[in-house]
Amino acid sequence: MAATTRLIVDIHTHGYLPRYASMLRSRAVVPKIVSTKVRDGAVEERLHILNDEPSGGRPVGRQYWDRDEKLKFMDKHGIDVSIVSTANPWLDFLSATQAEDLANELNDDLEQFCSTGPSLANHQNVKRLYGFGLLPLVPEITTQSLLQSVEQISKLPHLKGLIMGTKGVGNGLDDEALDPVWAAIEKAGLVIFLHPHYGVDSNAWGGKDNGHVLQLALGFPFETTTAVTRMILSGVFDRYPRLRLLLAHSGGTLPQLSSRLASCIDHDPAVASRLNHDARYYLGKLYFDAVAYGPEELGFVSDVIGRAERYEGNKNRESSSPKSNIIKQAAAQLRSSGSKRMFFGTDHPFFPPLSSTEEKWQSVVDNLEAIDAAEGWSEEDKAGVRGGNALALLNIL
Ligand code: 5CU
């Protein structure tokens, strides 16, 4: 196995670059960073990004914006390369002019953050940091401005794609207004990292306080599921078949629900004949991070992705069911082929240990151990998920 395929690459790792953190400090409403007096008159900064943060907010510090802290975290966990993206809620809450200016500046900042950082010891041509840039996706932005940002990102050598939330320009990701943007991203070969922020109302179907557990464990993944399903239903992947979309948190619940989705489509007169393919086919065109924390979940996701090629049939051109194309492949082969679309991630700087005495972060250890223990993945498959797949997808090396 080539040494490079043994590299560990973190495709899901965030930060608020200094310029973004300054903007959060200047705000009086969420999202914001506030200074709070703690013991002995010391001052600590607290972050409010979700609507129901603990009173006073959560501690925030250099791990969110300092490159040395990111590198220290990487070294502690044996991570060779990180693909850094701005954390939620990106530019969603700004006016069009503010978002346009900040996207432009933050993309340049991120390029600088990556390009002036260290290279890998054994691969001087490979940096330890790359990035996903930002588009000014807010209501009233012009298409021209969005296209300019796509062009800017495509010209910055250390930016390999862009991170995007689920709102689009206010009407979701199934909005035809985004068609020129999908076309430009596809043409530029950039990867879109689709990430949630809004989740589901934390008071949905109950009233007990559960911290952020329901929001993060269930609401976030369900938001991603809804957003990508809207893209599938509106035919985005039929119109832009080479679009490369990476889904946060292993695709949320899409893998679990894809056969139900296919059946609901087939039984709904409004959409039954809209798509070129069975809904399950599109899962084989998507990419999934491996931020699922358990080996069974990783194995399952790879099964579902691997199975997608069974649904290759074109619904509109063939009279027979797509299932007539079933390729009789061994389950292990499908699982292995599905793993090629999966990528290790940490979600750093989120999910730190609750106790500061822990050496390694449990959230990271869990995700690495889940890859090690995923049943049916060969050593080569595991090395791919740890890093080789990301290097190939992002054309690094
Ligand atoms: O803990 C959280 O709030 C988050 C968040 O906001 N975004 C994220 O990516 N992970 C955890």
The CB of 216 under 6 Å from ligand 1? The reply is yes
CA-based nearest residue to 62, from 50, 44, 38: 44
| DSSP β-bridge partners for residue 13 | 84
Neighbours of 24 (CB within 10 A): 19
Q: What is the ipTM of this complex?
A: 0.94
CA-based nearest residue to 247, from 364, 337, 345, 118: 345
- Residue of the CA atom closest to atom 3 of ligand 1: 50
* pLDDT value of position 4: 59
* pLDDT value of position 201: 81
* pLDDT value of position 338: 97
Going from the Cα of 317 to the center of ligand 1, the distance in angstroms, rounded, reads 43
Q: What's the rounded Cα separation, in Å, for the pair 12 and 9?
A: 9
The CB of 49 under 6 Å from ligand 1? The reply is yes
Q: Are strands 342-343 and 119-120 parallel, antiparallel or unpaired?
A: unpaired
> What SS3 class is residue 243?
coil
- Residue of the CA atom closest to atom 7 of ligand 1: 88
Going from the Cα of 287 to the center of ligand 1, the distance in angstroms, rounded, reads 20
Q: What is the mean pLDDT, run by run of 10 residues, along the chain of 397 residues?
A: 78 98 97 88 91 85 97 98 98 98 98 98 94 98 98 98 98 98 98 96 86 93 98 98 98 98 96 95 98 98 93 62 56 92 98 83 97 96 98 95
Query: Judging by beta carbons within 10 Å of its beta carbon (0-12, 13-18, 19+), is residue 228 exposed, middle or buried?
Result: buried
Q: What's the rounded Cα separation, in Å, for the pair 394 and 189?
A: 9
The CB of 248 under 6 Å from ligand 1? The reply is no
* pLDDT value of position 324: 47
Structural tokens at position 273: 């004949």
The CB of 344 under 6 Å from ligand 1? The reply is no
CATH number 1.10.1740.10 given to 3-17+65-393: no
Helix (H) or strand (E) holding 153: helix 143-155
Domain boundaries, the chain: 3-17+65-393, 18-61
Location of structure tokens 């080479």: 242
* pLDDT value of position 240: 98
Helix (H) or strand (E) holding 110: helix 96-115
- Residue of the CA atom closest to atom 1 of ligand 1: 350
Going from the Cα of 142 to the center of ligand 1, the distance in angstroms, rounded, reads 29
Tell which atom from ligand 1 comes closest to the C-alpha of 351: 1
* pLDDT value of position 319: 44
- Residue of the CA atom closest to atom 2 of ligand 1: 350
